[in-house]
Every structure is written in structure tokens, then in C-alpha cells.
Amino acid sequence: MRLSRAQQNVVYVMAAFFAIAIAIGFWPVHAAVFGAPSYSCGSGFVHSGHKWKIDSATASNERTSNDAATGTPSDVCPDKVYGRRDFALLVVGFAVVVGLLTLVLMQGPQDRSSSALQASMRVRDRR
């Protein structure tokens, strides 16, 4: 199947959206937790819930009066990390649905003259 120039552009835009989604999914997430104002939670695609639990047990006793944090890593990180992952998956889903729909709607009519000619030849040969 040969793609037209416009269809090739749609494929390039879909690839760009995939690249953006990968960047969003692997971008590191930081959160303010008790004892660490810039705690690294991991990224949307690569993170460790076990590390959060261990660090939460340690950080629960490290509260200070001027702490801007709202909780421990196991309380704060899942929302931030899973939100980032879900947004990356939403971008990929949008790219796939809109891209494939655009490709289908841009598809030109197929040339069926050769298949019609071959079918008429088969009918003629049966007689």
C-alpha cells in the first residue's frame, strides 16, 4: 500500500505524539514529602512502590514545623506518578485513534479495473 504525502505527514505526527508520550512517561516526578522537599518518586513508567514504603517508614518521624509536605512517599507519590503515566497513555490513545481515523478517511478510491478484468476473463473461460 502506497501512502500519499498527506498520509505520510499524519504518520509523522503520530510518531511525534508517541515520542512526546514516552518523554512524559519517563520524565522524573518529584514531590514534597516529610523530611525531603524534593523527593524523587521515579517516573510514570518506572517507579518502585517498595522504595516508597521503605522511605515512608523512615520519613514518618522526620516532620518539621516549616515542612511544606503533605505526607509520606507512599501517600504522595502514587497520585503524581500514576497521573503522569495515565496522561502519557492518554496522549498515545489520542494519537492512535485520531491518526488511524484520519488515515482511513484520507484513503482514496481503490483501482479495481485490473480485478474486474481478471474476473471477466475467468467467467469467459468457464463457458
pLDDT for 14-53, tens place per residue?
A: 999 999 999 999 999 998 888 778 888 999 898 888 888 8
Q: Which 3 state secondary structure label does DSSP give 33?
A: strand
Residue 112 reports pLDDT greater than 70: no
Locate 56 and state its grid cell. Answer: 515512608
33 phi and psi angles, rounded to 5 deg: -125, 170
The whole domain housing 48 covers 5-126
As for how many domains the chain has, the answer is: 1
Helix axes 49-59, 73-106, angle to 10 degrees: 150
Are the beta carbons of 85 and 25 closer than 8 angstroms?
Answer: yes
Q: Given the C-alpha cell 496522561, which residue does it identify?
A: 87
pTM of the complete model: 0.74
Model pLDDT for residues 53-101, shown as the tens digit of each residue: 888 887 766 666 566 667 888 888 899 999 999 999 999 999 999 999 9
Amino acid type, 69:
A
Residue 110 reports pLDDT greater than 90: no
Instruction: Measure the CA–CA gap between 93 and 96, rounded to whole angstroms.
Output: 5
